[in-house]
Structure 1
Amino acid sequence: MCGITGWVDWSKNLSKNKETLKAMTDAIEHRGPDAEGFWLKDHAALGHRRLIVIDPEGGAQPMVYQIGEDHIALTYNGELYNYLELRDELLAKGHDIKTNSDTEVLLHAYLEWDTDCIRHFNGIFAFGIWDERQDRLMLGRDHLGVKPLFFAEREGQIIFGSEIKSLLSHPDVEPEVDTEGLAEVFGLGPMRTPGKAVFKGIQEVRAGHFMTFSENNSSDEKYWMLKSKEHTDDVETTVNTIRELLEDTVKRQLIADKPLVTMLSGGLDSSGLTAMAGKEFREDSKALSTYSIDFVNSEADFEEDFLRRDLDEPWVNRVSEHVGTNHTSIVLDSDKLVDHLLVPMRARDLPGVGEIETSLYLLFTEMKKDATVALSGESADEVFSGYPWFHQEEYLDADIFPWLMNLGNMGGILKDDIQEKLQLKQYQKERYQEALEEIPELEGETGMEAKQRRMSYMFITRFLPFMLDRKDRASMMTGFEVRVPFCDYRLVEYLWNIPYEMKRIDDIEKGILRRAFADYLPEDVRYRKKSAYPSTKDDEYLQRVQRWMLNVLDDPDSPILSLIKEDVVREIAEGRHPGIDGSRAKGLLDYLLQINAWLKEYQIRINL
């Protein structure tokens, strides 16, 4: 995994602009702490920060191929899990591939198939290719959007990078937010609209898309999409297909020249992947290492609720013993969580979900001490329809995204004139309607099944990107790569058309996945009820963020004061608000503290 950046200007010679390119590249040094690279020539400048995972000697970037006097230059972030097959295919076609890196395979795939190369890839990737033969830039992103890629168009220039901070390091990109940007922040929270980056004039290459830019035109092409068709496989065939796809995916994603581990929560998803990976390790006479997260006094503080049924650690130990892993539990306290609250915001360049993101970052920080790569169970709930909302009429019939119904109305804390300008409820409905219009409906499907298909689309295309953003930024902030086998596009395509009732076979969420893991996990682990990502229940955490918020309110220079009703937020921070307390208060204060720091640290100009 790496960080990429660069820009193209058809009206200028950029070969002398290394200082700007280096600033853009330095901004994402954390994504690639092992090496840096630059390529500047005429109208293009490409930068790269490298995290070495495969082929330490042969994968240096930007990678350049020369045809006559023309150069084709690549800066690339990600992994191609089918690169060995592609390498063989390209060699058979006469390509001279000198290294063992997937980077060179990607470059030669472009030389062979031009922009259609992206249709040959199975992996997680974001890349930029400058082709001097056509004076054209190509930007491409993987099927589900695991790897990030942002761009800005400025007066005949295209400026791009893995993270927004890289673009903001270019002198022509200013940190400005307009009405739509603030509506994203307060109306949708961290679950951004695909393609939007909150900052005015900065956009995101959408998942499953590639874009091309030349001097006089540009194009945006969707190369992959979900297609609806009748699922004709019986239950046994479906179970076997899921198992075979996961086995193949895990095997591919274990390829690395650096130490690889897995994340283990004791839940179905991470446990199943750990068991599959552990089997591969044992066959190679190795022991797999696993990591989990816990909190000080978690057992004493635990309270069962709708999202969290029981503690993870007993199940973590059960799975670790069953698979035979070397397990490490990372235990965090409230002080560490609060002290690092703003780090994920700086990683994301946008406010996030607070303590839940902070703990993930701290977990990766510890894992990085022993490894460079990890497998994660992320996205199984989204692609297997594992959330309770899939069978609850209240959410299936809503006119906004279901997760927003649980967050409450952020507009209530905004000043009246800001509320009037942002129109948050209307903004939420419009973004939801846009998503509805994209859905590939199945002809003849009606009633509950049609509603569940719509819900599935929302989670795959609107909620999952947030989860992937969270994991990418939290891990790459520490120079650590996390792979997500459940995001293999072949698996997602297959699952898309499985009826919800079959996914929920045995009257339990993700029942079909539980059956697929039958040969890998004990029955009690397979049928453990879903429990959400853990969160601290320590009262000290809430008290500390309350005090922090009060300090923000008492500082007349706090930029957030121009947006919020101070009296309402003060009530929340003092624990006096009649409707917002406990975990809701904690989440809201986490978010507001991040917004204030974001506005201040990034020196954002608000233009309403």
Structure 2
Amino acid sequence: MVCHAERPVSGIFAAFRTDAPMDGGTWIAADARVDDRQTLAAALGVPHESALSDEELILHAYMKWDVRCVEHLIGDFAFAIWDGRARRLFCARDHFGIKPLYYAHRAPWLLAGRSVDALREHPAISDALDDVAVADFLLFGHKTDPAATTFRDIRRVPPAHTLTWSRDGGCRLHRYWEFPIDEPVYRKDADYAAELRQLLDLAVADRVRGERAGVFFSGGLDSTAVAATARRHAASSSIRGFCFLHESLLADEERRYATVAAAHLGIECRFYEMDSAGWSHAGRERTPEPLVPSIDASAQARCLDDAADHSRIALTGEGADNALLYEWASYVRYLLCGGRIGRLAVDCAEFVRHSRRVPLAAVLTYPRSRLANDGAQPVIPSWISPDLVDRLHLEERWRDVMRPAASPHQTRPAAYFSLQLPLWQDLFDSWDPSYTGVALDVRHPFLDLRVLRFLLSVPVIPWCREKYLLRYAFAADLPPQVRRRPKTPLPGSPEHAKIARDGLPPVMRSPRLGAYAESAYLRALPTSTSMQAEAALRLVTFSRWLAGLESMRVAAATD
């Protein structure tokens, strides 16, 4: 029996008493998109063009390969399979954790699902908070433990993990995949470009499947390449861009570049200014867990509603910045240590041929003081409860989290490390319907395993400098202004600029807030630096979320 949990209705995949008689059937509940269906179907011996849903393909894979079925899957997925033959629950989450999957084991109950709120509705689950997870949010804006949630009773299945329960073995987590580390691959220039175009084409095709799609669009290289690729799979009217702006807060050129790129591709692009006066629902009190808010929640909501009206699918360019970091020093060290001076000379010659400049000249002649990290050293905000600081050893925790990254990748250590950071989970949460309230499935073609593995195998010189590989591979799809556009992050923190202009929203007091913040500091939180402003906004966000949680508890108690 196949039980498909419709997205994103109740969010519960499985809920049962572990001490009760077990169902003898086999069923699946899932939120899943399986990519490269043709290869999987061939391995299963079923026609890839058959009417089997993605959930049914996963169940067929499980019936053939048992728990090793995940080794044959790519895509975005979270699922639970009850195996009545083995009296076993088997759950799995995709490689990067794009789809959420939570569980709670409160004897005798075992719950699994895609929504924290859905699990919290069960009477066995308390609303006790995980103090470490709360402290992580207040300090860093995200949880550093990929298995943690804000609630003590609820855990998250980490990316690339399975969860198995049986009466004899209990609950067990298992990592089924590690990001592979490949040696650099050397080939002709045209071959690099052709393979990237082919792989991104496959990634977009798997995510769009001939449907209409929106693209979160900035007029930068990444989103324009995604939009151009999507455009090849549908009529221009089927692809629409959606662009966020911060024009009254910061020097923001997104409108100009997005307009040029959209005109070049022949698609419509709509703009949403994220800088209206005041704070519209800035606290996002009703999200399942506290999440760093948009500075203009009403504009964001309009954009998401418009995107969902256009299509149930939206694409982003997330992942390309990480995969194409210009780590020239690690790459040069790798070649020199291997005695591959000839290879380095060839790469430098390629750099000169493509860019008409001497490789590394700007870096080698840069003042050493500018190469050092001249940013302010992080400190524990003064308003955090001293008891919390001492009890959880937060100063030591901060030093541990902020330590230099350790990475086993010799040529791309920072890229490899950055693609596995826990903060990705908060990004994926911020797009998830359980947080936005909008039935929009946001998908990320550059985070396709096939695309990422290729991007991390290209030689750093010349292809990663200013993401040159994208400029070269998509030269025909990018207007000259975008192709020549340097990487241009916003010139400052939108949150800091917003607070400087409109002030900070007030902290909402509630009985449990005192365990995390000193009440004496709450009337005048420091916001003079961007770091202080962003930390203060996290406290405001948490206070409003916590006040909402308390009001729900009071309402439930009076029912």
Q: Decide: shared fold, TM above 0.5.
A: yes
**Match of 2:125, SS?**
coil
Give the alignment partner of residue 389 of structure 2, picking from 407, 419, 425. 419
Larger mean Cα displacement after TM superposition, 588-597 or 325-334: 325-334
Give the alignment partner of residue 116 of structure 1, picking from 68, 79, 86. 68
Give the alignment partner of residue 181 of structure 2, picking from 228, 240, 245. 228
Q: Which residue of 2 aligns with 1:101?
A: 53
Give TM-score, length-normalised by structure 2. 0.80
CA distance in 2, matches of 1:189, 1:466: 9
Matches within 5 A, 1:43-54: none
Give the alignment partner of residue 242 of structure 2, picking from 281, 284, 291. 291
**In the alignment, residue 417 of structure 1 is paired with which amino acid?**
D
CA contact (8 A) 1:558 1:596 kept: no
**In the alignment, residue 8 of structure 1 is paired with which amino acid?**
F
CA distance in 2, matches of 1:184, 1:432: 12
Mapped pair 1:196 → 2:143: no
Q: Which residue of 2 aligns with 1:368?
A: 308
- Note the alpha carbon deviations across 1:525-561, whole angstroms, 9 max, x for none: 0231223479758977656552523xx3xx5x46434
The alpha carbon displacement at 1:119 in A equals 1.5
CA contact (8 A) 2:291 2:426 kept: no
- Note the alpha carbon deviations across 1:370-411, whole angstroms, 9 max, x for none: 22111111222222227999999999999xxx9xx7794344
The alpha carbon displacement at 1:422 in A equals 2.6
**Match of 1:177, SS?**
coil
CA distance in 2, matches of 1:364, 1:152: 31
Q: Which residue of 2 aligns with 1:11?
A: 19
**In the alignment, residue 385 of structure 2 is paired with which amino acid?**
K
The alpha carbon displacement at 1:474 in A equals 7.4
Q: Which residue of 1 aligns with 2:454?
A: 494
CA contact (8 A) 2:250 2:497 kept: no
Give TM-score, length-normalised by structure 1. 0.74
Larger mean Cα displacement after TM superposition, 464-473 or 519-528: 464-473
Residues 493/429 of structure 1: CA separation in 2 closer, same or farther (3 Å cut): farther
Residues 396/203 of structure 1: CA separation in 2 closer, same or farther (3 Å cut): farther
The alpha carbon displacement at 1:271 in A equals 0.8
The alpha carbon displacement at 1:105 in A equals 1.6
Mapped pair 1:276 → 2:223: no
Mapped pair 1:131 → 2:52: no
**Match of 1:109, SS?**
helix
CA distance in 2, matches of 1:387, 1:331: 34
Residues 339/262 of structure 1: CA separation in 2 closer, same or farther (3 Å cut): same
Residues 216/407 of structure 1: CA separation in 2 closer, same or farther (3 Å cut): farther
Q: Which residue of 2 aligns with 1:587?
A: 534
RMSD (CA atoms)? 3.6
**In the alignment, residue 352 of structure 1 is paired with which amino acid?**
V
CA contact (8 A) 2:119 2:125 kept: yes
Give the alignment partner of residue 339 of structure 1, picking from 270, 275, 280. 280
**In the alignment, residue 74 of structure 2 is paired with which amino acid?**
N
**In the alignment, residue 232 of structure 2 is paired with which amino acid?**
K
Residues 211/190 of structure 1: CA separation in 2 closer, same or farther (3 Å cut): same
Q: Which residue of 1 aligns with 2:7?
A: 2
Residues 81/201 of structure 1: CA separation in 2 closer, same or farther (3 Å cut): same
**In the alignment, residue 548 of structure 1 is paired with which amino acid?**
P
Gaps in structure 2 of 5+ consecutive residues: 1-5, 331-362, 554-559
Q: Which residue of 1 aligns with 2:194?
A: 240
- Note the alpha carbon deviations across 1:12-69, whole angstroms, 9 max, x for none: 25xxxxxxxxxxxxxxxxxxxxxxxxxxxx46xxxxxxxxxxxxxxxxxxxxxxxxxx
Residues 500/355 of structure 1: CA separation in 2 closer, same or farther (3 Å cut): farther
Q: Which residue of 2 aligns with 1:514?
A: 471
CA contact (8 A) 1:475 1:482 kept: no
**Match of 1:138, SS?**
strand
Residues 529/330 of structure 1: CA separation in 2 closer, same or farther (3 Å cut): same
The alpha carbon displacement at 1:359 in A equals 5.2
The alpha carbon displacement at 1:268 in A equals 1.1
Residues 216/196 of structure 1: CA separation in 2 closer, same or farther (3 Å cut): same
- Note the alpha carbon deviations across 1:207-234, whole angstroms, 9 max, x for none: 1111211112143222221222321324
CA contact (8 A) 1:153 1:159 kept: yes
Q: Which residue of 2 aligns with 1:48?
A: none
**Match of 2:488, SS?**
coil
The percentage of counterpart residues that share the same residue type is 22
CA distance in 2, matches of 1:412, 1:242: 48
**Match of 1:589, SS?**
helix
CA distance in 2, matches of 1:407, 1:72: 54
- Tell me how many residue pairs correspond in the alignment: 506
Q: Which residue of 2 aligns with 1:185?
A: 137
The alpha carbon displacement at 1:480 in A equals 0.8
